Chains A and B, each alone.
Chain A
Amino acid sequence: MATGPGLNIAVDEKRFGSGAPLFAGLHLQIAPSSVVALIGPSGVGKSTLLRMIAGIDAHFTGSITVDGMAAAAAPVPGFVFQDPRLLPWLTAADNIRAAAPACTEAQAVTALERVELGDAEMLYPHQLSGGMQRRVALARALAVNAGLLLLDEPFVSLDRDLVSEMHRLFRHVVDAERPTVLFVSHLIDDAIRLADRVLLIDHRPARVVADIALPKAPAERDETVLAAYRHMLERQPS
């Protein structure tokens, strides 16, 4: 089974303009095919870190490598933005094909079927609900067929039923394709349900204040265990 890439993050300094540094000496190793949740308060730099890993923000000192390659030269990652960010003039299927040029029309429909939107291929974004748009955004990220998935608050502002549905889809993809996943969340619950490693980031410049490995085996992830981890994370000093 194919595996996702390993990441080596060594950011010496990242700042915006002449302000205080956002990161100063942030060093992280992300194992291949691991699912890592970055949690922490707003403005701590989680989304910026995702953009740096995606290779679109290179204004920092240090290096980020994906399987040994500079981030900007590594294969295109699958990316989910905080907002669905669908191109309003393209149908759901064409939005997928826009990001994944190699994707055929049939493959775009298959990608939509994976997020249970097989009948929405010809609909424009304004014809989809907020939750459906998010699922199209997830389908788009998956259609890129990347070993690396970067998700920025993928479940924010969705109702609980939809979040459970998105969690199930997410787990299904991760189990089937074993990508390396980094996802940003400010919800501890998302993190402990989906990730096998949780990084709690805080302060400015940002640093990892807790690095917690969660059990991978489903049998070891029952509600009692997850509740214990939730409790542990909530007690972290910030």
Chain B
Amino acid sequence: MLEWLSLPLLLLLWQVLATVFAHRLFPSPILVAQEMWDTATAGRLLLDLGKTLARVAMAFVVAMLLGTALGIVFGRIRWVDRLFSGWLLVGLNLPAIVVAIVLYIWLGLTEVALVLAVIINKLPLVVTTVREGVRSFATEFDELGRVFRLSRLRRLRLIFLPQLLPFVLAAARTGLSLIWKIVLVFEVLGSDGGVGYRIAIMFQFFDIAGILAYTASFILVVLAFEYGVLRPLERRALKWRPVQG
């Protein structure tokens, strides 16, 4: 019950503060909602949102697939881990903005450079999470598979993937929140459209209502994805786990 009150409470607080400190640069949520409606119906909001989401989706899918595959290799093959774990450490600590700038210089202000920069930033996080997961696998289940002579496919489906799934979901959750943010930053830095690009333009005009309208729309999409896709998926995939607390 309390969690349903959380966001309305935030909106109420915002409304109160906007009323108390009434100023052109501090619009109320009602004004921002009006701006959202206007930009969605008559402006470019949906187009920009679509462009950004396409970039997020592309970077997310590639980073998850590649990162999961590499994480499995790192977790299973000791020499690979020992030889390349330093690279992971570098990747984890590489400032996101540096990667974007370098790729923009090398490849130009292109779609490929932007998405690639996001993937490179996200990849080490997925690899590390999945690697730790694979390392923690219970060896006794492997023995179970061997005793009952399960085929490779059945071992993969019944023993390997169920152990991997919680870590992939954890990587997806943390990775997605990272990607949402850095895509916007990279769009501000250089792109031909998208939420970040539009916010950068609005910044030049101090259009706070516009910036907040775009931001709120983006957050709504993120929340819809979280509650509509990620959480139900997680609940369904992990329903076998004992309920905590």
- Among A78-86, A110-118, A206-214, A218-226, the one that faces the other chain is A78-86
Closest to B238 in A: A89
Closest to A98 in B: B158
Contact across chains for B242 and A126 when beta carbons are under 8 A apart? yes
Q: How far is the CB of A230 from chain B (nearest CB, A)?
A: 32
Q: How far is the CB of A145 from chain B (nearest CB, A)?
A: 12
Q: How far is the CB of A46 from chain B (nearest CB, A)?
A: 16
User: A81 — which chain B residues lie within 8 A by C-beta?
Assistant: 140, 143-144, 147
Q: Is B141 engaged at the interface, CB distance under 8 Å to the other chain?
A: yes
- Among B25-33, B88-96, B101-109, B148-156, the one that faces the other chain is B148-156
State in angstroms the CA–CA spacing of A76 and B149 once bound together.
7
Give the secondary structure class of A's interface.
loop
Contact across chains for B149 and A90 when beta carbons are under 8 A apart? no
State in angstroms the CA–CA spacing of A144 and B148 once bound together.
8
Set A76, A83, A87, A124: member contacting B158, Cβ < 8 A:
A87
User: B149 — which chain A residues lie within 8 A by C-beta?
Assistant: 76
User: B140 — which chain A residues lie within 8 A by C-beta?
Assistant: 81, 83, 85
Set A56, A83, A89, A144: member contacting B240, Cβ < 8 A:
A89
With A85-B140, A89-B162: A101-B154 Cβ-Cβ less than 8 Å: yes
Contact across chains for A85 and B148 when beta carbons are under 8 A apart? no
Q: Is A54 engaged at the interface, CB distance under 8 Å to the other chain?
A: yes
Closest to B237 in A: A89
Contact across chains for A88 and B240 when beta carbons are under 8 A apart? yes
Contact across chains for A87 and B148 when beta carbons are under 8 A apart? no
Q: Is A99 engaged at the interface, CB distance under 8 Å to the other chain?
A: yes
Contact across chains for A90 and B240 when beta carbons are under 8 A apart? yes
State in angstroms the CA–CA spacing of A51 and B144 once bound together.
11
Question: Could you say which interface size class chain A belongs to?
Answer: 20 to 34
Q: How far is the CB of A201 from chain B (nearest CB, A)?
A: 21
Q: Is B202 engaged at the interface, CB distance under 8 Å to the other chain?
A: no
Q: Is B76 engaged at the interface, CB distance under 8 Å to the other chain?
A: no
User: B150 — which chain A residues lie within 8 A by C-beta?
Assistant: 98-99, 101
State in angstroms the CA–CA spacing of A88 and B144 once bound together.
13
User: A124 — which chain B residues lie within 8 A by C-beta?
Assistant: 240
Contact across chains for A98 and B162 when beta carbons are under 8 A apart? no
User: B231 — which chain A residues lie within 8 A by C-beta?
Assistant: none
Residues facing A in B68-95 (CB within 8 A) are none
Contact across chains for B240 and A85 when beta carbons are under 8 A apart? no
Contact across chains for B154 and A85 when beta carbons are under 8 A apart? no
State in angstroms the CA–CA spacing of A220 and B90 once bound together.
75
Q: Is B159 engaged at the interface, CB distance under 8 Å to the other chain?
A: yes
Set A88, A89, A98, A126: member contacting B154, Cβ < 8 A:
A98
User: B144 — which chain A residues lie within 8 A by C-beta?
Assistant: 81, 85, 87, 99
Closest to A80 in B: B147
Q: How far is the CB of B197 from chain A (nearest CB, A)?
A: 44
State in angstroms the CA–CA spacing of A89 and B159 once bound together.
9
Contact across chains for A56 and B159 when beta carbons are under 8 A apart? no
State in angstroms the CA–CA spacing of A197 and B146 once bound together.
28
Contact across chains for A85 and B141 when beta carbons are under 8 A apart? yes
- Could you tell me which A residues sit within 8 Å of B by CB distance? 51, 54, 56, 76-77, 79, 81, 83, 85, 87-90, 98-101, 124, 126, 144
- Could you tell me which B residues sit within 8 Å of A by CB distance? 140-141, 143-144, 146-150, 154, 158-159, 162, 240-242
Q: Would you mind naming 28 contact pairs between A and B with Cβ atoms under 8 Å apart?
A: A51-B147, A56-B143, A56-B146, A56-B147, A76-B147, A79-B148, A81-B140, A81-B144, A81-B147, A83-B140, A85-B140, A85-B144, A87-B159, A87-B162, A88-B240, A89-B162, A89-B240, A90-B240, A98-B148, A98-B154, A99-B144, A99-B150, A100-B148, A101-B150, A101-B154, A124-B240, A126-B240, A144-B148
Query: Top 3 A-B pairs ranked by shortest CB distance?
Result: A89-B162, A99-B148, A89-B240
